[in-house]
Amino acid sequence: MSDQVVLLHGLGRSCASVARLQSGLEEMGFAALCWSYPSRRRRLAGHIEAFREWLRRQAFAGPVHFVGHSLGGIIIRGALADTPPVAIGRIVMIASPNQGAGVVSRFGRWPFSRAIFGLPLQDLGEKSPALMSLGVPEAEIGIIAGLRHFHPLNAISYVNLFHRAGHQHDGTVELANTQLEGATDSIAIDAHHTFICDHDEVIAQTGAFLRNGQFSR
C-alpha cells in the first residue's frame, strides 16, 4: 500500500497551488490528497479545529504524512501538536512562518491588508500569541525555506524589497522565521514564496524527506 500524504495550501490559495507538488509525490509512489479550506474566513484556531475534525472523519490505513505550504504548515503543526486525531508519519513545512512574518507585524493591521488577506492575518505576526502557543508535533519535521526575494506577481515581495532589505527571505517570510525548534532537518532553496510548491527541487526534497526523514544533499 502506498504511503498516504495530506497536503494543505497556503493563505489565499487553493489546492490548485499545490497540484504540481501533489502530482510529483504521486509519481514517487505516494497516495496524495489535498485538504481545501476557506483560508481567509477563519482565524488560526478555527482552521486548526476544522482540520482536526476533517481528520477525525477520515479512514486512513496506517500513519499519514503531512505537507503544508505557508499557513497550511502552521495549521498542520497546530492540529497535530496535542493528541493528534490520526497516526502521524513525517511532516514537511514549506515556507511556513513558524515565528511569524515581519511584513504582517508591520502592515497587518492596515484595513487594506485585512481586506485582502482576511482573518488569519491577526495571528501571523512575529511573536503572535497564537503562534507562540502552538506546540510541536511528536514527529520528524522537515523545514523547506525559500531564498528568492522577488516575484512580479507577489505584491508583498515589492514591500519586502525595502522593508526586509538585508534579510534573507522568500519575498514574504524571513528565513529565520521559518525555523522551528525540534525540527529534524531544514533546507533553503532558491525559490519564491508564492510559487515555491511548483519548484522541481522543492518537490524532490519533499519526497526525499517523506521517504527518508532527511533532505538530500
CB 162 within 8 A of CB 137: no
CA 92 to chain centre: 8
What integer is the mean pLDDT of 102-125? Answer: 60
Q: Predicted confidence band at 83 (pLDDT cuts at 50, 70, 90)?
A: very high
Strand partners for 94: 69, 144
- Asked if the model's pLDDT at residue 193 lies above 60, the reply is yes
Task: In whole angstroms, give the CA distance from residue 194 to residue 13.
Answer: 9
- Per DSSP (E only), the strands in 82-127 are 88-94
pLDDT at 80: 98
The neighbour count for residue 41, using CB atoms within 10 Å, is: 11
- Asked if the model's pLDDT at residue 1 lies above 80, the reply is no
pLDDT at 6: 98
pLDDT at 39: 87
Q: What pLDDT digit, counting tens, does each position of 152-186 carry?
A: 656 665 555 555 556 687 778 989 999 999 999 99
Give the class (CATH, top level) of 4-212. alpha beta
pTM over 0.85: yes
The neighbour count for residue 135, using CB atoms within 10 Å, is: 11
Task: In whole angstroms, give the CA distance from residue 50 to residue 52.
Answer: 5
Q: Predicted confidence band at 123 (pLDDT cuts at 50, 70, 90)?
A: confident
Task: In whole angstroms, give the CA distance from residue 124 to residue 109.
Answer: 11
Q: What pLDDT digit, counting tens, does each position of 86-113 carry?
A: 999 999 999 999 998 865 545 445 454 4
User: Taking CA 72 as the corner, what is the angle to CA 109 and CA 131, rounded to the nearest 5 degrees?
Assistant: 50
Residue bearing the bigger pLDDT, 156 or 69: 69
Largest CA distance in the chain: 49
Q: What pLDDT digit, counting tens, does each position of 136-150 carry?
A: 999 999 999 999 765
Torsion of CA 205, 211, 212, 214, to 10 degrees: 30
Q: Is the dihedral of CA 207, 209, 213, 217 positive or negative?
A: positive
Mean pLDDT of the chain: 87
Task: In whole angstroms, give the CA distance from residue 181 to residue 47.
Answer: 23
Task: In whole angstroms, give the CA distance from residue 166 to residue 10.
Answer: 26
Q: Which of 72, 66, 69 is nearest to 47 (CA)?
A: 72
pLDDT at 59: 87
Q: What pLDDT digit, counting tens, does each position of 4-49 carry?
A: 999 999 998 899 999 999 999 999 999 999 999 998 889 999 999 9
